[in-house]
Amino acid sequence: MIGFFGNKDNNPSPEQVDQINAEMTRHGITHDFHRYEDAGHGFQNRNPGTPGESAATKDSWAKTLVFLKSVLGR
């Protein structure tokens, strides 16, 4: 599982992300969470390469594509 979270988001809040991370670790669930200090809710909704794209959007999409290629084998 891969997850992307903005630390300015309240749903889930950074504290909730910490709890989810801890529980997944406790249960041995493989996961890779990425957090972005200046990102709020929905930062990944922009298409890669569009005007106004934030650093968090660009980085999260790059990581998403690497993750999908590793899982799907393409």
Greatest alpha-carbon span in the chain: 40
In the chain, the number of structural domains is 1
Note the pLDDT tens digit of each residue in 1-32.
Answer: 999 999 999 999 999 999 999 999 999 999 99
Percent of the chain with pLDDT over 70: 99
Which tokens go with 62?
Answer: 């790059």
- What is the pTM assigned to this prediction? 0.87
Whether the CB-CB separation of 7 and 35 falls below 8 Å is answered with yes
Whether the CB-CB separation of 36 and 4 falls below 8 Å is answered with yes
Task: List the domain range (segments joined by +) for residue 25.
Answer: 2-72
Task: Give backbone dihedrals phi and psi of 73, rounded to 5 degrees, phi first.
Answer: 75, 25
